Each structure stands twice: as structure tokens, then as C-alpha cells.
Amino acid sequence: MKQVGYALDEPERLDATFAALADPIRRAILARLAQGDATVKEIAAPFPVSQPAISRHLKVLEGAGLISRGRVAQRRPCHLEGRQLRLVVDWLETYRGYWAEAYGRLDELLDELQAGDDVRQSSGGREGQGT
Amino acid sequence: MTAKTLRVTTPTPTDIVLTRVFNAPRHLVFDTLTKPELLRRWFGARGWRLVECEVELRVGGSWRFVSVGPDGLRMGQGGVYREIQAPDRLVYTESYDDQWVPGESLVTTVLTERAGLTTLQTTLRYSSPEVRDLVLATPMERGVGESYDRLDEVLASR
């Protein structure tokens, strides 16, 4: 039976998620939210950028499904969405997949090269063996 | 039987270390890393093939690869050899034409051989932790579909 990757139905979401993560401030925001929910003001405090700038970052993170905003009037605390982050972590496993696959081809090539070496060695001493 | 598993570790904030054992003497493994005719046969992601592969194997010499991927996408990468100690050590810089990995990285490859098995350890050092993290996230730039195919196979093989 063919297994289907868990993320297959969400490639676009994943694109947005990785784009969102490709920014140090946004990653720092996620790290902050990993400690617990926080308001925009609380999140912005340690950063040398304006609160509106932080709000824009939060919007990107929210669009990527990495955070959600609470409905409590005014405060609207931000909440880390672990599920989407988990998806990313799972996806990162495929970085290993990329190299694992290339190295798999290298295994085959090395086997072939060694077979060639063996042929040369076993025919060693016999002059005139074709090249 | 050797477990041909690839280990990926991130020992420092700027590094990615790939470790893999090959069932071959290291001079052969070294050849596959430095000879264009051999590199063409294994290097790169599925769906991508090396269409240009130039290696000027001397300290200060340059290397350049161009790969063509799905939908004719082209990706160029290259750098300069810093250290060459065949068959056990190779150090070179690497950067990408389109800057999908920003800046230049330093790649250090160390080969150790024991009982006919070669351990290949590749340390990729990026210009900042941010770039390193970006790289970990980037194989999808090369075609998320292929990656999912691989994921399928990995899952199916279990």
C-alpha cells in the first residue's frame, strides 16, 4: 500500500511557513511564544524595531499558520501553533533525504568502480588485457 | 553489513555536519568528490542533473557546477579549493549564483578509512546561524514534489 506523506495536502502552506521562518526576528518571536502566550507589546519589548514592524511580522506568522491570535478584546494575545511547527520539523527530515538519496547513488557508483578495480587487479600481470 | 545511514547534526549554530559510511576505500570516495565524470553520476537531488561540472583541483583553483532541474530550472554553484590532501581531506568555498543560500559557505570534507570502509564527514559552515537555518529549510526550493516522493519511499520502505 502506498503511504502518503502527511504534508502532501499542504505544500503551499509549507511554502508560507518556510518563508515566514526565513527571518531572524520572526524566529525569535516564535522562541518567545514558546515560553507562553504574549501580546504584541510584550513581544515587541526586546526588539530594536517598532511595534508596527512587529505587527507585520506577526501577520506573516499568522498567515503561515505558525501562530494564532486570541479573541480577547484589545489584547489579542499571540499563541504558538505547535502543529504547524511540527510539520516544519517533519519536513526538515527531508533535508536528510536529499543527501541520503545522493549518497545512495554514490554507493552504487562506488560498487561499480570497485568492480572495475577488481577486474584490473585480477587481470594484473597479464599483458595486453584490453585497456 | 554496514548501516548506511546518514547522520545530520548541527553541532554549532553555523554548521551542518553530514556523516556517512561507504563500502569503498577512501581513494575511490575521494575520486567521486573531485572527478567531474564521477560527480556527474551521483551529485544532486532527484530530478536534477549536472550539466556543467568543472573542477580545477589545486589550491586556489575553482570549481563550478550547473544543475538543471524540474521545468528546466537552472542552478549554478561554485567556489575555490582551499585545501587538497588526497585522499583524506578537501576544503573549499561554495556559493550559489542566485543566492538562494546567501553568502559564501566553507565546506570541509574529511575521509577516514577503516577495514575497507570509508567514513565521509562533511562540515558545511555558513556565514551566520540565520543562513544555516535557511539552508536546512531550503531543499524545497529544489522541488518540494521530489522531496515528497522521497518521503513516500522512505515511509514505504519501513
Percent of chain A with pLDDT over 70: 71
- Does residue A43 fall inside a structural domain? yes
- Does residue A51 fall inside a structural domain? yes
Q: In this complex, is the C-beta atom of A109 within 8 Å of any C-beta atom belonging to chain B?
A: yes
Q: Contact B137/A18, CB-based, under 8 Å?
A: yes
- Does residue A79 fall inside a structural domain? yes
Q: A94 pLDDT band (50/70/90 cuts)?
A: low
- Does residue A72 fall inside a structural domain? yes
Choose between A65 and B70: higher pLDDT: A65
3-state secondary structure chain B: CCCCCCEEECCCCCEEEEEEEECCCHHHHHHHHHCHHHHHHHCCCCCCEEEEEEECCCCCCEEEEEEECHHHCEEEEEEEEEEEECCCEEEEEEEECCCCCCCCEEEEEEEEEECCEEEEEEEEECCCHHHHHHHHCCHHHHCHHHHHHHHHHHHHCC
Q: Contact B6/A99, CB-based, under 8 Å?
A: yes
Q: Domain spans of chain B?
A: 7-156
- Does residue A125 fall inside a structural domain? no
Looking at the domain B7-156, which fold is it?
A: Alpha-D-Glucose-1,6-Bisphosphate; Chain A, domain 4 (3.30.530)
Interface TM-score (ipTM) > 0.85: no
Question: The domain that contains A29 carries what CATH number?
Answer: 1.10.10.10
**Is pLDDT at B31 greater than 50 in this prediction?**
yes
pLDDT at B117: 92
The structural domain count of chain A equals: 1
- The model carries a pTM of 0.59
Show the domain range for A78: 11-84
pLDDT at B158: 35
Q: Give residue-wise pLDDT tens across range B94-119.
A: 998 876 667 899 999 999 999 989 99
Over range B1-29, report the average pLDDT: 83
Q: B51 pLDDT band (50/70/90 cuts)?
A: very high
| Facing residue for B136 by CB, picked from A5, A95, A108 | A95
- Does residue A124 fall inside a structural domain? no
